[in-house]
């Protein structure tokens, strides 16, 4: 049935009984969900029962590249990892690029499902059809770079690609991520799910290739996309040179680069210290994901003080925010160090930094003191404390244990008024946009099926001023319900499912995203979708994820924003005075639910589900 | 002419004019010097002029595997790197194993000579005959693991093997080493020579193989060697499981595990804390060099406190001594961390630790104080200071700059009585044997052409009680002159030249070492040597190295031992009361020179040189 793009096979590995099975990919899956996160959400919904412990053997980890992965389509090196998130209890989906996803396709799999729980630490090795569960005794406890190297040595294959967890995942930190090379499937604690299964790593190498339905159509589709990429005023001229960290300057100008746990946005604006000009003094060169002509990933080297010589791939913008702006740290070398240390420990930089910033505010406000922190001076701007805290969190040592599961759970343990300063939605810490000055972006945080997640419905209209589908006022709530639906559905369908790099959508093809995906899918897979049908797949994904979350008890009450965003205006800068009032959020939610065809409680209506075939 | 073993080619790379040449290996070289360090010494003597600055463009770096490297002979994965040492001013020769040397042979080279100095940071890539000098801009400043990975990525070849320097080499620390994977060509500051040439790394990959003169003879020779290895009571039963760190227990029992800069040997004996029993709690598994059935290299993981999660290949025994015994540190996790940090910085663990221990004694004795150290409490046992000091030394920061060039130069800068506590010979810091209780070992330190170097004439007779060529009393000086000559010549000829792992000599074939080498060389190369002729090659190497050093002004006055060894008896334990008196050293030197056929000043006589064809 599959003419191209798909291998047609699911690899299912049960760590409890050590069984390894190959199953055919169900025929309807590709048509309805394309791949990647689409497959992830569908399989999670079907296979993971209500109410299970995300860190128990009943949870599953679903790795899914997309139909374009491993083809000559640029920017399609990615895969989605989907699970029930131990951080939020909702759908946990995180994407990562590099080379691992491509090797999984080359090995012959569209999906890999990991089930159960091994008694002892193991890793999985995949070489085409040879799939083995091996003892991880040699690497258990190791950081991620060492883990990858030692497994390569043990398999006597330096070309194998490895996704693994570090100490944070082993210690079941709900902020733990999954690392391949120096890239992270960062958010929602998926590393803790691996850790809970006693699964240290997955090594994969494939010798196959991906069939193409029509090489001629593919050439046309690629040319179309390449032209859009070339015409982008941002993609090659700026983004390819600077990568995401250039956003520090842009957001500072807009007045929405979060400062000191959002208490000093527009006041603490370290653009001189960690903005583009300073970043360039630390730049070493770029790294490329498989088949990517852009290469946004920048290697940076810490150059002064105690962190000199520490190299990081990144830090990406989000990390500049989480270890920079929101912790009040303006030491670029400490941020670079913290980024690399996080990758080695396997802990999510956004959630870790935001959780530390939360604790810093509690400390400065006197809600916690040295007795609580074990003597640590958790003050804003104290970069040594920020760096050291990462290790304590990954190892659950001392006060690190309190922060190890993120700001929501930390606030529950600390009590008092601390919840007011915990910057999360549904347990997922806020990314680096003060949404008081970007309200569709805020609505997306409130409604994304993964919690506060910039990547599930990025409002590039507000952040970069791109007037597609139309110009917007970032301070206004007008039309933001429908806009957020569009942002979420298009993102899901054109990035998360096929799987394509999201930067392409934001920066190169926003006006023609669904057309572009339609072109590429037809060329590669032979399946035809109209642009509207593409968007509909995104809608289906968001609805099914919503149903999963509803089954877990989530509803309108959880489509919320942190107290501070709803009550406290930004103090200074170009977004001074702005906030999202409770009433504004409610209005936006009403409009959003209405645009989605959901009822007032945010539950998908029967009509909508039928329309989507759910 | 070369029937096997040799490729017959020298690769010569001049970094000043960027020229790359291939030259034939001179016909007489193999017969007279076998390979490895033999070639290194000969080429250094012929090509490097008297009095040049070791860190100037006139110095050369000579990489030479041996004729057995890359064959099926076990334990022959090694290469010698020879240069004029910036630490001693004498011949600097250091060996390393792993995979790099084999790849160099497979690429078609017996020797690689690096000359001159590049204007900008570069690295060399070798893929068979394709040799290129490339910009190292992307990796300059990086630590060694990152350097290797990023170069592999840049070359798009994960199977390339890389030798490189870290920050210590870039900053011209005379303690800098050359790292391949996590292995070091550790001693004599060869990393600084690379740094002075602006050469960050050499990447090599070969697709060839090494010719064998007689496969039939090789089978016989290998069987002979394998039988000796199997019969060793130590090699497989103990050494393969524990590696070199097992020596901590053995030396502690003998009372010669150096304690606190040799001031407390036999008093500070941390065998419980860092001996075999505790080591086993940190063992993760082993790593093998190319073609080695033993796999002595142990991976260790720091498990407690602030260093938890740091993995090291090693620490080898010498590092247990230099970061343990002699610094008074008994924290095994700190030692593991210091070992890895040293590998990443590219600094020699022995010299770095011994230099730190020297500074600790000065601090405790009040010869230096906090004003000198910049506030650092350089006390024995202060493991944090020990670990932190490594970075300061590699970066020449603060007091680290004073220690960065080793104990001899540090004593010159500090002045006062400090020289009394500097534990070095000819500038090279002492390895981990308190030679006051092992006098042939001490005589070797005094006379080795590289300075205090256990590996140039290891007195296994004293250390392990092996009665070959005859039993010895380690406290006596009787016969130690001739014994040291034998140890040095046999070591040079059977390990450093062919090139073979020295552990084989010490633990498996001491009784038949020259016969074994003769067998293997004939089988592989077709060249026939009697066992005596093999030993003669070793003698030739030691004489020619002596001539090089004499040309640089070295003589009897430099064949010395540290003050403390000559004047202060060991205070406690099974070597209590022992030391090497000035008179004993003089007597041993007389006998040694006489055994060597040198005059009373230690100058090789004309007759001896003629006998050796020099």
In a domain, A227, yes or no: no
B255 and B383 part of one domain: yes
Give the span between the Cα atoms of B275 and A477, in whole angstroms: 68
- Do A411 and A522 sit in the same domain of this protein? no
- Residues A117 and A52 sit within 8 Å (Cβ to Cβ): no
We report the CATH number of the domain holding residue B313 as: 1.10.569.10
- pLDDT greater than 90 at residue B508: no
Q: What is the mean pLDDT of residues A207-215?
A: 97
Residues of B in contact with A305 (CB under 8 A): none
Residue B271's CB is within 10 A of a number of other CB atoms, namely 18
| Judgement on whether residues B106 and B186 belong to the same structural domain of the protein | yes
Question: 3-class secondary structure for A107-152?
Answer: CCCCEEEEECCCCCCEEEEEECCEEEEEECCCCCCCCHHHHHHHHH
Q: Is the pLDDT of residue B507 over 80?
A: no
In this structure, the answer to whether residues B98 and B185 fall within a common structural domain is: yes
Residues B417 and B507 in one domain: no
The arithmetic mean of pLDDT across residues A341-365, rounded, is: 98
Instruction: Give percent of chain B with pLDDT exceeding 90.
Output: 97
Tell me whether residues B153 and A311 touch, CB distance under 8 A. no
Q: Is the pLDDT of residue A130 over 70?
A: yes
Would the CB atoms of A146 and B287 count as touching at under 8 Å?
no
Predicted pLDDT of residue A510: 87
Residue A507 has pLDDT above 80, yes or no: no
Whether residue B236 is contained in a domain is answered as no
**Domain holding B50: CATH number?**
3.60.9.10
How far is Cα A438 from Cα A460, in angstroms, rounded to an integer?
10
CB A34 within 8 A of CB A497: yes
B365-370 contact pairs (CB < 8 A, 24+): B365/B421, B367/B414, B367/B416, B367/B417, B367/B418, B367/B421, B368/B414, B368/B418
CB distance B526 to B3 below 8 Å: yes
State the number of CA atoms in the 13 A half-sphere of A326 facing the CB.
31
On chain A, the residues whose CB falls within 8 A of the CB of B309 are: 141-143, 166-167, 344-345, 391, 394-395
- Per-residue pLDDT at A512 exceeds 80: yes
Q: Are residues A419 and A454 in the same domain?
A: no
Least confident interval from A350-359, B465-474, B578-587: B465-474
Cβ of residue A304 closer than 8 Å to a chain B Cβ: no
Using 50, 70 and 90 to split pLDDT, how confident is the model at A178? very high
Q: What mean pLDDT comes out for the span B175-195?
A: 97
Q: Judge contact between B446 and B232, C-beta under 8 A.
A: no
Whether residue A439 sits in one domain with residue A417: no
Instruction: Give the closest-approach CA distance of B387 to chain A in angstroms.
Output: 12
> Considering only residues 148 to 167 of chain A, which have any Cβ-Cβ distance to chain B shorter than 8 Å?
149-150, 152-153, 158-159, 166-167
Q: Distance from B300 to chain A by nearest Cα, in Å?
A: 10
E strand spans, A136-260 = 161-164, 178-180, 183-185, 199-205
Percent over 70 (pLDDT), chain B: 100
Which residue of chain B comes nearest to A388, CA vs CA? B306
- Per cent of chain A over pLDDT 90 is 97
Q: A412 with A498, same domain?
A: no
- Given an 8 Å threshold on Cβ–Cβ distance, is A309 in contact with B142? yes
pLDDT at A1: 60
CB A256 within 8 A of CB A434: yes
pLDDT at B1: 61
Which tens digit of pLDDT belongs to each residue from A261-317? 999 999 999 999 999 999 999 999 999 999 999 999 999 999 999 999 999 999 999
A74 with A137: CB under 8 angstroms?
Answer: no
For residue A186, give how far its alpha carbon lies from the nearest alpha carbon of chain B (Å). 20
- Based on the domain organization, do A189 and A87 belong to the same domain? yes
CA closest to B304 among chain A residues? A395
* CA-to-CA dists, residue B423 to B104, B351, B390, angstroms: 36, 10, 18
- The answer for B 392-411 residues in CB contact with A (under 8 A) is 394-395
Residue B4 lies in a domain: no
Predicted TM-score of the model (pTM): 0.97
Question: What does the pLDDT average to over A536-564?
Answer: 98
Q: A313 phi and psi, to 5 degrees?
A: -85, 105
Considering B423, B453, B483, which residue would you say is the last residue of a domain? Answer: B423
Q: Is A576 part of a structural domain of the chain? A: no
pLDDT band of residue B505 (cuts 50, 70, 90) is: confident
Same domain, A65 and A149: yes
Residue B328 forms part of a structural domain: yes
Phi/psi of residue A612, each to 5°?
-90, 0
Point out the least confidently predicted range of A144-153, B330-339, B462-471.
B462-471
pLDDT score, position A373: 97
- pLDDT, tens digit, 9 for 90 and up, residues B132-173: 999 999 999 999 999 999 999 999 999 999 999 999 999 999
Question: Does A526 lie in the same domain as A390?
Answer: no
Pair B261, B388 in one domain: yes
Which range of residues forms the domain containing residue B400? 247-423
Domain boundary among B205, B233, B258: B205
CA distance B322 to A267: 50
Chain mean pLDDT for chain B? 97
Exposure of B497 in the CB half-sphere (CA atoms within 13 A): 33
Provide the CB-side half-sphere exposure for B275 (13 A, CA).
13
User: Could you give the number of structural domains in chain B?
Assistant: 3
pLDDT at A505: 76
Residues A426-472 have pLDDT tens digits of 999 999 999 999 999 999 999 999 999 999 999 999 999 999 999 99
The chain-wide mean pLDDT, for chain A, equals 97
How far is residue B137's CA from residue B119's CA, in Å, rounded to a whole number? Answer: 12
Query: Does any CB of chain B come closer than 8 Å to the CB of residue A143?
Result: yes
Please indicate, yes or no, if residue A570 is contained in any of the structural domains.
no
Per-residue model confidence as pLDDT tens digits over A72-129:
999 999 999 999 999 999 999 999 999 999 999 999 999 999 999 999 999 999 999 9
pLDDT in tens, B521-562: 999 999 999 999 999 999 999 999 999 999 999 999 999 999
Say which of A137, A301, A345 has its CB closest to residue B142.
A301
pLDDT value at residue B504: 80
* pLDDT tens column, B303-355: 999 999 999 999 999 999 999 999 999 999 999 999 999 999 999 999 999 99
Q: What is the DSSP letter of B604?
A: B
Q: DSSP state, A495?
A: I
Residue B2 has pLDDT above 90, yes or no: no
Nearest by Cα to A244 from A175, A347, A357, A322:
A322
Q: Which of A205, A228, A259 is the last residue of a domain?
A: A205
| Nearest chain B residue (CA) to A143 | B309
> DSSP string of B423-447?
-EETTEEP-S--GGG-HHHHHHHHH
């Amino acid at each position: 049935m599959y003419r191209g793009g798909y291998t047609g096979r699911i690899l299912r590995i049960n760590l409890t009984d050590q069984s390894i099975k190959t199953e055919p990919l169900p025929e309807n899956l590709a048509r309805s969900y394309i791949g990647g996160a689409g497959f992830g959400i569908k399989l999670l919904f079907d296979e993971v029962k209500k109410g299970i412990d995300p860190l128990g053997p009943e949870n599953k980890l679903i790795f899914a590249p997309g139909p374009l992965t491993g083809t000559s389509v640029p920017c399609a090196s990615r895969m989605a990892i989907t699970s029930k998130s131990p951080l939020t209890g909702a759908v946990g989906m995180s994407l990562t690029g590099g080379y691992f996803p491509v090797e999984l396709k080359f090995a012959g799999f569209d999906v890999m499902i990991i089930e159960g729980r091994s008694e002892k630490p193991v890793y999985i090795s995949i070489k085409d059809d040879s799939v083995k569960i091996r003892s991880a005794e040699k690497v258990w406890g190791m950081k991620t770079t060492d883990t990858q190297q030692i497994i390569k040595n043990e398999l006597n294959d330096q070309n194998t690609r490895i996704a693994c967890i570090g100490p944070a995942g082993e210690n079941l930190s709900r902020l733990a991520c999954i690392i391949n090379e120096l890239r992270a499937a960062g958010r929602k604690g998926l590393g803790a799910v691996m850790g809970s299964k006693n699964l240290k790593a997955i090594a994969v190498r494939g010798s196959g290739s991906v069939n193409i339905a029509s090489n001629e159509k593919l050439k046309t589709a690629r040319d179309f996309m390449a032209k859009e990429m070339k015409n982008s005023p941002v993609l090659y001229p700026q983004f390819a040179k600077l990568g995401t960290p250039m956003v520090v300057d842009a957001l500072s100008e807009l007045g929405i680069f979060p400062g000191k746990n959002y208490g000093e946005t527009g006041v603490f604006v370290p653009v001189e210290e960690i903005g583009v000009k300073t970043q360039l003094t630390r730049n070493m060169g770029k790294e490329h994901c498989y088949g990517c002509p852009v290469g946004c990933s920048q290697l940076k080297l810490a150059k002064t003080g105690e962190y000199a010589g520490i190299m990081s791939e990144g830090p990406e913008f989000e990390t500049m925010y989480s270890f920079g702006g929101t912790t009040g740290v303006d030491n670029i070398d400490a941020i670079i160090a913290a980024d690399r240390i996080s990758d080695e420990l396997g802990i999510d930089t956004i959630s870790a930094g935001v959780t530390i910033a939360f604790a810093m505010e509690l400390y400065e406000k006197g809600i916690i003191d040295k007795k609580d922190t074990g003597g640590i001076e958790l003050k804003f701007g104290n970069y040594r404390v920020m760096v050291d805290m990462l290790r304590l969190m990954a190892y659950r040592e001392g006060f690190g244990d309190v922060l190890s599961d993120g700001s929501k759970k930390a606030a529950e343990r600390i009590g008092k008024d601390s919840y007011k300063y915990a910057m999360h939605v549904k347990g997922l810490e806020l990314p680096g946009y003060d949404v008081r000055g970007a309200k569709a972006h805020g609505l997306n945080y409130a409604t994304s099926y993964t919690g506060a997640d910039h990547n599930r419905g990025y409002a590039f209209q507000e952040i970069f001023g791109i007037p597609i589908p139309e110009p917007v006022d970032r301070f206004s709530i007008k039309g933001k319900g429908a806009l957020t639906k569009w942002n979420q559905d298009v993102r899901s369908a054109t990035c998360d499912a096929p799987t394509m790099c999201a930067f392409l959508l934001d920066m190169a093809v926003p006006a023609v995203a669904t057309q572009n995906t339609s072109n590429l899918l037809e060329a590669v897979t032979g399946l035809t979708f109209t642009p509207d049908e593409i968007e509909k797949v995104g809608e289906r994904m968001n609805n099914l994820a919503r149903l999963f979350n509803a089954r877990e008890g989530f509803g309108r009450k959880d489509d919320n924003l942190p107290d501070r965003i709803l009550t406290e205006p930004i103090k200074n800068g170009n977004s001074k005075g702005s906030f999202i009032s409770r009433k504004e959020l409610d209005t936006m939610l009403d409009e959003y639910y209405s645009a989605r065809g959901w009822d007032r409680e945010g539950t998908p209506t029967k009509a909508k589900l039928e329309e989507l075939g759910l």
